């Protein structure tokens, strides 16, 4: 017979209502009482309490309660929202699943922000579930890198008016726009990721480079060819993709030059 909820199935194996996690905690309690399990080790395994069916149920209820509260604030936008409601529902379902598995308050906040932003967005969001998946997989340092790329490589004034006619001269950016900011990007990334002031020119660029390469793997950024690098002190360049811009927008960040990339129905 198929098992719909693995935690319920585990609990059924323990007639007294003790799931496997509570059984493990009892062993640890006994070990602690006998002095065989030190407080640091006991504290480490405290996360097992979140694996119980009761803890997951309470987590789910708190998630839905907060989402309802947030949606009340944007309910007027629901009547004219451009994103398909089924996409928002699917994204909400997956967010709830992730939240009850991971118990990560920071990510919960991001899931909720993405959901409500998709409701108020004047741009149609396609593939909203995939952005929830990105939020689940990206770490804190990845998001720092994404924000630095937006700050350094997507500045107001980057786009200039093109000569007429527009069909023969579509708006575009020369790669030098990004290449000439390689030093600035490398410095700002290093400062944000390491907390160092970046004085001199000998600081390692490896931390920021690795973040940009990781973001490229998610389709959120693109590495820009500069030249062969001297490891670890040569600069590098990268830019946000439209996907990276969309994720930042869904997370509530200001994204310059938005109308150069997006229209009401999505990417131009």
* Residue 266, beta-bridge partner list: 263
pLDDT reported for residue 172? 79
Q: How far apart are CA 75 and CA 69, in angstroms?
A: 10
Spell out the residues 6+ positions from residue 223 whose beta carbon is closer than 8 angstroms to its own: 212, 213, 216, 236, 237, 238
**Can you give the pLDDT at residue 130?**
98
In a domain, 160, yes or no: no
204 and 86 share one domain: no
Over 70: is that where the pLDDT of 208 sits?
yes
Alpha carbon distance 29, 66 (integer Å): 34
Q: Mark whether 144 and 250 lie in a shared domain.
A: yes
Does residue 245 share a domain with residue 147? yes
Checking if the pLDDT of 8 tops 70, the result is: no
User: Confidence class of residue 2 from pLDDT cuts 50, 70 and 90?
Assistant: very low
CATH of the domain at 231: 1.10.10
121 and 177 part of one domain:
no
Q: What is the pLDDT of residue 24?
A: 66
Whole-number average pLDDT of the chain: 86
pLDDT of 13 over the 50 cut: no
117 and 218 share one domain:
no
In a domain, 161, yes or no: no
Mean pLDDT lowest for which of 13-22, 138-147, 164-173? 13-22
Question: What is the tally of structural domains in the chain?
Answer: 3
The widest CA-to-CA distance across the chain, in whole angstroms, is 83
pLDDT of residue 22: 67
Query: Quick check: is 164 in a domain?
Result: no
For residue 166, the tally of other CB atoms under 10 A from its CB is 10
Shared domain check, 214 and 116: no
pLDDT of residue 179: 94
For residue 182, give its domain range: 140-155+171-267
Look at residue 170 and tell me whether its pLDDT is greater than 80. no
7 in any annotated domain: yes
Residues 131 and 151 in one domain: no
Q: What percent of the chain has pLDDT over 90?
A: 61
CA dihedral angle for residue 133, residue 134, residue 137, residue 143, rounded to 10 degrees: -150
Q: Kindly state whether residues 150 and 216 are assigned to the same domain.
A: yes
Q: What tens digit of pLDDT does each residue of 110-159 get?
A: 999 999 999 999 999 999 999 999 999 999 999 999 999 999 999 998 88
Distance, C-alpha 64 to centroid of its chain: 20
Q: Note if the bond before 232 is cis, omega within 30 degrees.
A: yes
11 and 68 both lie in a single domain: no
Check whether residue 189 and residue 247 sit in a common domain: yes
Same domain for 185 and 87: no
pLDDT digits (tens, 9 = 90+) for 218-248: 999 999 988 776 777 788 999 999 999 999 9
Q: What is the pLDDT of residue 17?
A: 42
Does residue 165 form part of some domain? no
């Amino acid at each position: 017979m198929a098992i719909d909820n693995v935690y319920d199935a585990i609990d059924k194996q323990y007639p007294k209502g003790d799931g496997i996690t509570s059984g493990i905690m009892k062993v640890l309690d006994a070990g602690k009482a006998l002095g065989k399990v030190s407080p640091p080790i006991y504290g480490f395994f405290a996360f097992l309490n979140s694996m119980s069916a009761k803890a997951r149920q309470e987590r789910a209820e708190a998630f839905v309660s907060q989402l309802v509260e947030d949606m009340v604030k944007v309910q007027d936008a629901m009547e004219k929202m451009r994103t398909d409601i089924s996409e928002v529902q699917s994204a909400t379902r997956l967010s709830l699943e992730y939240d009850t598995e991971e118990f990560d308050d920071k990510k919960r906040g991001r899931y909720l922000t993405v959901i409500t932003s998709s409701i108020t967005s004047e741009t149609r969001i396609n593939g909203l579930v995939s952005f929830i998946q990105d939020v689940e997989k990206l770490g804190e340092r990845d998001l720092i890198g994404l924000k630095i790329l937006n700050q350094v490589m997507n500045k107001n004034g980057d786009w200039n008016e093109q000569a007429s006619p527009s069909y023969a001269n579509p708006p575009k950016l020369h790669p030098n726009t990004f290449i000439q900011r390689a030093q600035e990007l490398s410095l700002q990334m290093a400062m944000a990721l390491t907390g160092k002031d970046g004085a001199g020119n000998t600081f390692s660029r490896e931390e920021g480079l690795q973040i940009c390469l990781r973001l490229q793997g998610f389709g959120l950024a693109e590495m820009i060819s500069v030249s062969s690098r001297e490891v670890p002190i040569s600069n590098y360049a990268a830019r946000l993709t439209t996907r990276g811009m969309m994720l930042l927008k869904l997370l509530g960040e200001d994204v310059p030059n938005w109308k150069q990339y997006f229209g009401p129905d999505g990417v131009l």
